[in-house]
Amino acid sequence: MIQQGQEEPAAIPTVNIDGANVPFTEGETLYEICSRQKKDVPTLCYDPRLDPFGGCRLCVVELEGARNPVASCTTRATAGMKVRTKTEAIENHRRTLLELVVSENRQVEVDELAGYASQELKILVERYDANRGRFQGKQSGQSRDDDDNPFILRDYDQCISCYRCVRVCAEQEGDHAISVMNRGFDTRITTEFNGLLRDSDCTFCGQCVQTCPTGALADKKALKHVDVPGKIEKTRSVCPYCGVGCSVDLLSKGDKLVGVLPAMDGPANEGALCVKGQFAFGFVQHDDRLKTPMVRDEDGKLHATSWDNALDRAAEGLRAVVERHGREALYAIASGRAPHEAAYTMQKMMRAGWGLNHIDNCSRA
Amino acid sequence: MPSPTDAEIFTRWANTEAPLLPILHAFHDRDGFLGEKAIHAISEALRTPIADLYGTVTFYHHFAQQAPGQSAPRVCTGPICKLKGADALLDAMRGEGATPMACSGRCDDPVPVLKGHQTLVACDGQMTPWYSPIPIPNPGGLEECVFASIREPDRGTHDGYRRTGGYLGLEKALATDPAAVRQTISDSGLAGRGGAGFPTGRKWDAVAEDPRGPKTIVCNADEGEPGCFKDRTLMDLDPHAVIEGMAIAAHATGATRGFIYLRYEYPETAQILERALKEARATGLLGGQTGFDLWVRRGGGAYICGEETSLLNSLEGKHPFPRNRPPFPVTHGYENLPTVVNNVETLASVPPILSNGADWYRQLGTGEHAGTKVISLSGDVLRPGNYEVPLGLPLSKLLHEWAGGVPEGRAIQAVTMAGLSGGFLAREGLDVTLDEPSIRAQGSFLGAGGIMVLDDSRDMVAVAHSAMEFFAHESCGKCFPCRIGTARLTERLGSGGPASFESWREEVDDIGSTMKATSACGLGMAAPLITESLARWFPDQVETHLNSTTS
Ligand SMILES: Cc1cc2nc3c(=O)[nH]c(=O)nc-3n(C[C@H](O)[C@H](O)[C@H](O)COP(=O)(O)O)c2cc1C
Ligand code: SF4
Ligand code: SF4
Ligand code: SF4
Ligand code: FES
């Protein structure tokens, strides 16, 4: 109760969500508030990093006073709004929408290795029991089997025209490599003149793959490992390729590295990666990779040797240079493909060992 | 005239307002299509990403990407033209590279064929140019607003327009405080004539009261709704009325620039408007000292570009998906600044209202319904054409007394409302008066005022099928319910979908109710009225259809 003489506190604006008053900050959308409240409002065209688009309409909620349900992702909260997120009518519309989507999508089940968001459609279809064979008819989308780039599968038979790929490429990457062509049921994801990705402005960052909710865009390199037995395990790491420090989740089955996912909560990258961090992990377990130290002998060729011998030879070489030219002549570059521990040791040796800051890394992203 | 070089095109247009559409048209006119070289050049000149530009060009029906392109004839296969043998005409012209186009806004004329910048009709086996006919006067001699002087000789010229009372409204407005002008419009009861019926005075107030600028007046002349051809008649015969209405709107709201967004299929109208604009500039009514100028921008063939936010994206050179609302154009319109978007008829009503006063306009309507509405009447009636009716006029009076009823020996089976967007009315549903409350009570709406009459010889399922084909063809593809729903409903009116009436009905109702409730714009919300009203008024024809496609 407000006592006499006391200032009335400035009223915090609230909206009423399913009967509970929830405070919000200026500019928040109903969907953002619902997510905070763990309302589990379904979406397919939504990616929190992108401008709300309002295409899938699954996020509709009932708003008191509005003639029709409103898309919660595009509706900004204003004080006093009364919202219901899960009425029978709303849930029925969501099921019908999903059944319509399923009716034009050739395959709801796709392997998890396809990409970060690839299970979104499947999960919703199961949740709403929407795979009941209704609304049959023609299918949209056309797969681009002719696009033989090594990274990105363009299996548009599975495309549901949510345009997340187009929007992530424009809004997050600034590349505008892909766009929407035609209209209505004939819309297609395209590059300039409907060509191949490699002939477009695509940098193969893989962002479109990771936001695709159906696996229509998929990670070809990871999908090579579908048949490797075992459960997929995720290990948080940092991409070694450059100084940005993008967080990644390494995907492995047993001790086989099978793919890389960008970490949406990575402080430096917030889900972004470049082509190297995303796709260039093949070297890790490559057959050509050195497994023992090598030294160059009198004959000018490299020969396998022991660690002790290799380290001695390296120390000798370094010492000889310092004796002849002084320590300032040393300069060390870590390989982007070396593990972090090696990069760390390298700089430690240079800084603590010789008091030098002549260090660098080979990668430029 | 030698054809312009790329550089000449860019010099002419690149630094004008809303440059993309005129540049696309200039290349399309020059080359006959928009090829890769043209798109590369435009992308560079406007600094637009090439993939976006390519995608956007493919959105528009009429922008060809290869020869024969623009010179190939396009035959109207809209619902009324179909009844008049459009399919046969199209087949006969296939040899010349003819392709179909959606209703091109001439349902009261013989089947139109668009060729380059000309509209032709087949007359005694000859293709001859065709111009908008003068509206038939109503039999009762009822007073009109926008048509009052349209039949005067030379009305389309500046001098002829002046001679018959033109530009008096603007003079009066300019001598009046903008707020008072807006008050007159509000008092008149004028509401949007483009379909949504929003009060015009309130729209203008919102724009005037927004402190940001520059402000813009957009005249929506996209008129893509099948069965609607009133805006073309107004612009062709009375172009200065539209310009005057826009100039008054500019004064009333503080706008400094304007556009007439004209549908692709009205090339003759573009020339008429350009000529009238030249006259208006030469006589000091636009540009220079007036502080307001306006330009024509032609669309590329897309019904959705009549939806005001899609129109604004199209003007700005963006992909023409509708925008999410709110915010509305009155605060975030052209270039995200305050913008009035008004229909042609709405704007043409403004000068006479200013001249004659708010009360005069109000009392033109019947009872509590203020003012008039132009109805485009087509199909199975003796005298199709545009009629300006007092709001509240009984539909039957228009059909029988004004337009002469259906042909001898036939009876009315149904009419469409709001072009196609209001679906069908039949039997007791025909006892409406022409105003929103009465028609909405029948689950339909008056909208932009297109009414197509179908006599008892017509196959309603076939008409509904071609209507739904139109919506599917014009769905922009932004939102799921409409993109997939229009395709599924089309199939269910053709040879696809469930065979039993019960499951047909269940699927069609579910799709329809979800489209109505969740679509992102009016197209997807309105399209299911076709199936809904078909099932309501003609369930037996649906059953017959289902039996015939499965047997
Ligand atoms: C699919 C769709 C198509 C439309 N087409 C037109 C059109 O061709 N002309 C028009 O004036 N309004 C059209 N509208 C309505 C406009 O969005 C807008 O309400 C109107 O231009 C406002 O002008 P008014 O208030 O003067 O009617 C359309 C709306 C929708 C949803
Ligand atoms: S890989 Fe990156 S640059 Fe290429 S299309 Fe996808 S998002 Fe755009
Ligand atoms: S490819 Fe994937 S992300 Fe892109 S529109 Fe299709 S479903 Fe959406
Ligand atoms: S309702 Fe149809 S036309 Fe409107 S935004 Fe959705 S897909 Fe586009
Ligand atoms: S998440 Fe709101 S419409 Fe898709």
Q: Please work out whether the CB of residue A24 comes within 6 Å of at least one atom of ligand 2.
A: no
Q: How many residues does chain A have?
A: 365
* Ligand 3 site, CB within 6 A: A 159-165, 189, 211-214, 216-217
Task: Examine residue B148 and state whether it is found in any structural domain, yes or no.
Answer: no
Of the three residues B455, B490, B516, the one that is the final residue of a domain is B455
B58 vs chain A: nearest CA distance in angstroms?
5
Residue A241: what pLDDT?
Answer: 86
Task: Examine residue B424 and state whether it is found in any structural domain, yes or no.
Answer: yes
Ligand nearest to the CA of A191: 2
Query: Does the reported pTM lie above 0.90?
Result: yes
- Please indicate whether, in this complex, the C-beta atoms of B511 and A135 are within 8 angstroms of each other: yes
Distances from the Cα of B141 to the Cα of B144, B152, B255, B279, B389, angstroms: 9, 16, 38, 32, 11
Residues B341 and B400 in one domain: no
Q: Among A33, A47, A58, say which to mutate for ligand 5: greatest number of ligand atoms within 8 Å of CB.
A: A58
Residue B262 CA to chain centroid, in angstroms? Answer: 9
- Please indicate whether, in this complex, the C-beta atoms of A100 and B491 are within 8 angstroms of each other: no
Residues B342 and B490 in one domain: no
Q: Please work out whether the CB of residue A207 comes within 6 Å of at least one atom of ligand 2.
A: yes
Residue B419: what pLDDT?
Answer: 98
Q: State the CATH number of the domain containing residue B95.
A: 3.40.30.10
- In chain A, % helix, strand, coil (3-state, to 5) comes to 30, 20, 50
Task: Examine residue B277 and state whether it is found in any structural domain, yes or no.
Answer: yes
Ligand 2 centre from A170 Cα, in Å? 9
CA separation for the pair A181, A179 (Å, rounded): 7
Total domains in the fold of chain B: 5
pLDDT at residue A2 tops 80: no
Residues B201 and B309 in one domain: yes
- Please indicate whether, in this complex, the C-beta atoms of A192 and B487 are within 8 angstroms of each other: no
Residues B168 and B252 in one domain: yes
Considering only the beta carbons, identify the residue of A56, A101, A184 that sits closest to B473.
A184
Instruction: Convert A295-315 into a string of H (helix), E (strand) and C (coil).
Output: EECCCCCEEECCHHHHHHHHH
Q: Which residues of A touch B476 (CB under 8 A)?
A: 183-184
Residue B414: what pLDDT?
Answer: 98
Residue A260: what pLDDT?
Answer: 98
The three-class DSSP label of residue B347 is helix
Residues B342 and B480 in one domain: no
Give the model confidence (pLDDT) of B459-509 as tens digits. 999 999 999 999 999 999 999 999 999 999 999 999 999 999 999 999 999
Q: State the CATH number of the domain containing residue B288.
A: 3.40.50.11540
Residues B207 and B282 in one domain: yes
Residues B358 and B431 in one domain: no
- Please indicate whether, in this complex, the C-beta atoms of B477 and A185 are within 8 angstroms of each other: yes
Residues B305 and B431 in one domain: no
Task: Examine residue B482 and state whether it is found in any structural domain, yes or no.
Answer: yes
- Please indicate whether, in this complex, the C-beta atoms of A96 and B514 are within 8 angstroms of each other: yes
Ligand 5 centre from A30 Cα, in Å? 11
Chain B CB within 8 Å of residue A286 CB: no
Is the ipTM, as predicted for this complex, more than 0.85?
yes
- Please indicate whether, in this complex, the C-beta atoms of A57 and B324 are within 8 angstroms of each other: no
- Please indicate whether, in this complex, the C-beta atoms of A96 and B474 are within 8 angstroms of each other: no
**CA-angle at B471, arms to B531 and B448, nearest 5°:** 90
Task: Give the closest residue (by CA) to ligand 3 atom 7.
Answer: A159
B483 vs chain A: nearest CA distance in angstroms?
5
Q: Can you give the pLDDT of all 551 residues of chain B as single tens digits?
A: 679 999 999 999 999 999 999 999 999 999 999 999 999 999 999 999 999 999 999 999 999 999 989 999 999 999 999 999 999 999 999 999 999 999 999 999 899 999 999 999 987 778 899 889 999 999 989 999 999 999 999 999 999 999 999 999 999 999 999 999 999 999 999 999 999 999 999 999 999 999 999 999 999 999 999 999 999 999 999 999 999 999 999 999 999 999 999 999 999 999 999 999 999 999 999 999 999 999 999 999 999 999 999 999 999 999 999 999 999 999 999 999 999 999 999 999 999 999 999 999 999 999 999 999 999 999 999 999 999 999 999 999 999 999 999 999 999 999 999 999 999 999 999 999 999 999 999 999 999 999 999 999 999 999 999 999 999 999 999 999 999 999 999 999 999 999 999 999 999 999 999 999 999 999 999 999 999 999 999 999 999 999 998 65
CA separation for the pair B105, A51 (Å, rounded): 37
CA separation for the pair A344, A351 (Å, rounded): 11
Residue B551: what pLDDT?
Answer: 54
A93 vs chain B: nearest CA distance in angstroms?
5
Task: Give the closest residue (by CA) to ligand 4 atom 8.
Answer: B476
- Please indicate whether, in this complex, the C-beta atoms of A184 and B474 are within 8 angstroms of each other: yes
Residues B333 and B394 in one domain: no
Residues B433 and B527 in one domain: no
Residue A7 CA to chain centroid, in angstroms? Answer: 49
Task: Examine residue B513 and state whether it is found in any structural domain, yes or no.
Answer: yes
Q: State the CATH number of the domain containing residue B522.
A: 1.20.1440.230
Residue numbers of the domain that contains B316:
158-362
Q: Which residues of A touch B475 (CB under 8 A)?
A: 183-185
Task: Examine residue B145 and state whether it is found in any structural domain, yes or no.
Answer: no
Mutation pick from B479, B500, B507 vs chain A, by most beta carbons of A within 10 Å, is: B479
Residues 6+ apart with CB under 8 A from B537: B414, B424, B425, B426, B427, B429, B460
Residues B446 and B464 in one domain: no
Residues B380 and B404 in one domain: yes
Q: Which residues of B touch A178 (CB under 8 A)?
A: 51
- Please indicate whether, in this complex, the C-beta atoms of A137 and B58 are within 8 angstroms of each other: no
- Please indicate whether, in this complex, the C-beta atoms of A135 and B481 are within 8 angstroms of each other: no
Task: Examine residue B149 and state whether it is found in any structural domain, yes or no.
Answer: no
B126 vs chain A: nearest CA distance in angstroms?
35
Please report the domains of chain A, with CATH numbers, ordered by start residue. Answer: 14-86 (3.10.20.740), 100-285 (3.30.70.20), 294-361 (no CATH)
β-strand partners of B126:
B123
Q: Which residues of B touch A191 (CB under 8 A)?
A: 51
Task: Give the closest residue (by CA) to ligand 2 atom 2.
Answer: A205
Contact B484, A100 (CB under 8 A): yes
CA separation for the pair A42, B42 (Å, rounded): 40
Q: State the CATH number of the domain containing residue B429.
A: 3.10.20.600
What ranges make up the beta strands (E) of chain A? 14-17, 20-23, 60-63, 70-71, 82-84, 152-154, 178-181, 188-191, 217-219, 232-238, 247-253, 256-262, 294-296, 302-304, 332-334, 359-361
Ligand 5 centre from A41 Cα, in Å? 10
Q: How many CB atoms lie within 10 A of CB A79?
A: 12
User: How is residue A240 annotated by DSSP?
Assistant: -
A224 vs chain B: nearest CA distance in angstroms?
30
Contact B332, B341 (CB under 8 A): no
Chain B CB within 8 Å of residue A318 CB: no
Q: Among A47, A171, A189, A205, say which to mutate for ligand 2: greatest number of ligand atoms within 8 Å of CB.
A: A205
Give the model confidence (pLDDT) of A10-52 as tens digits. 678 999 999 999 999 999 999 999 999 999 999 999 999 999 9
Task: Examine residue B64 and state whether it is found in any structural domain, yes or no.
Answer: no
